[in-house]
Amino acid sequence: WGVRMGLKSRPALDLMVYDGLWDPFYDRHMAIHGSEVGDEFGFSREE
């Protein structure tokens, strides 16, 4: 029933990203924050 049967169909939501890796304050993925902070302090991904 529900979404599988076509009732109130909605796009699938990746709960790992939504619950754990999504920043609700800035409404974006945490990886974006990590990249921005790394750029700000001069760190690269290799470090």
The answer to whether the beta carbons of residues 22 and 29 sit under 8 Å apart is: yes
> So where are the chain's domains?
11-47
CA distance 22 to 34: 12
What's the pLDDT tens digit per position in 30-46?
889 889 989 999 998 77
Beta bridge partners of 23: 28
Specify burial of residue 31 (Cβ count, 10 A radius: 0-12, 13-18, 19+). Answer: exposed
Please state the pTM of the whole predicted model. 0.53
Q: What are the structure tokens assigned to 7, written together?
A: 């009732």
What's the pLDDT tens digit per position in 8-38?
666 777 777 777 888 888 888 888 988 998 9
